[in-house]
Structure formats: C-alpha cells, structure tokens
Structure 1
C-alpha cells in the first residue's frame, strides 16, 4: 500500500535557519503524520546557533540537524514545496503545490531577533497542518 502521508519540503538558501525551524515545527506538531524535508540551494556549513537556541526554548531540539543540499529528487518526492527566500533557484514541477513564505532571514542575528521569526514560522506551520487536515499536537 503506498504511503498516504503528505510530504512537505521547506527550502531556503542556506538551510540553516528558517527552513530548519519550519521542518522542526512540522515534525514535532504533526507527530509523524507528515513526511518532512528541508534543503538549501547553497547550504551553510552548520545550522544557525541562534535558531537552535530559539527552538530549544520551545522544547524542540535541532542541535543534531545539518544543512542539506536541495535536490530535484527532494522536490519531486514532495507534495508541498515551501520556499523561503530562495527565489528562482528552486526547481518547479507541474502538479506540486508551491508556497512562498516571506520571512526575515535569521542569518547573523542574535536569538532575540530570531524569536519573532520562529513564532511566525510556528503560526504558519500550524496553518499548514490545518490546511492538510491534520490536527497539531
């Protein structure tokens, strides 16, 4: 039987902040009912420490995450592709649902500046879950 779980891919340039936080929230709030991926068009060497700290404040541990490179296969395997400032670098395939979330870039920001970005991401992820018909944890 094919897997009926929806799959979501979060894409930003460095896959070090916004897309990592979004993936962590969706993984946590969906309790495994959504396949979650994140990637970057030009991945950073490491996840933004301020993003890791901001997420830890919500009880979500992102410390083991690493930035991943965006692949055509990841896009093809996803039902919903959510871009966050990667512009035209994300491949577009027919039949996929694309959303572009305009969010401030947390790169180089301290945790105080990252918190409102984190909170907006959580709000949007909760809205996405509602659209998918999945109750958030």
Structure 2
C-alpha cells in the first residue's frame, strides 16, 4: 500500500514541475508535430500523400502487431495502440503542451494491458491471452 502512495506523490511532484516548465525547450518538438498535422491534412486532399501515410501506417501496425504475437486480434490491438499514442500527441500539440506525466502513465498502463494479453504472465508462467473470440 505504501508503494502506491509514494507513486502517487512522485506523479504529483512531476506534474507540478511540468506545470511550471516553459515550452521553449520543447518548441522544436511542437513544430515537428504541427508539421505532421499539416502533412496529415494534406493527405486528405492529395491521394499520393495519402498513399505514403497508408504505407507508413501499415508498416507501423505490422511491427506493433508482430510484437503483440500471432493472435487474430493483434493487428486491431496494434492499430488501437497507435491511435492512442497519436491521439494523445495530436491533442497535446494542439494545446501547445507536452503530454502530462499522468497522461503518459495512463498510456503506458493501457499499452501494458494490451501487450500483456499477448505474452505469458511473468508471475504464473501461463498465457494471459483473452479466451474471447
């Protein structure tokens, strides 16, 4: 129980630091993310740009799905993980800020759950794959 309290304190302390940190040192990252947003918008207007995005997304999805394992749901879970990561990045960029520690922690927890379904549990040595079709 004490570990949970200490973790909450650590997250709160980190969040407090982030509130007061200027964006200047993150300006290049924000500009890169804004450029990505502009290119994404252009992909909706220009089929050749859209093809590049689709190809890149397919490669990313395949790489993440391979990490998740051979299950039938791996490609869909891979897409969902990428959607979550990209969504958080887009939202933070639109708000001209970095994702908070709490947001990053929640993202990591979600990914661990999604990935955990593909790998054996370290605690009991048994697969934790979902039995649902």
TM more than 0.5: no
More RCO (CA 8 Å, sep 6+): 1
Higher helix share: 2
Higher strand share: 1
TM (norm. structure 1) is 0.28
Q: State the structure with more CA Rg.
A: 2
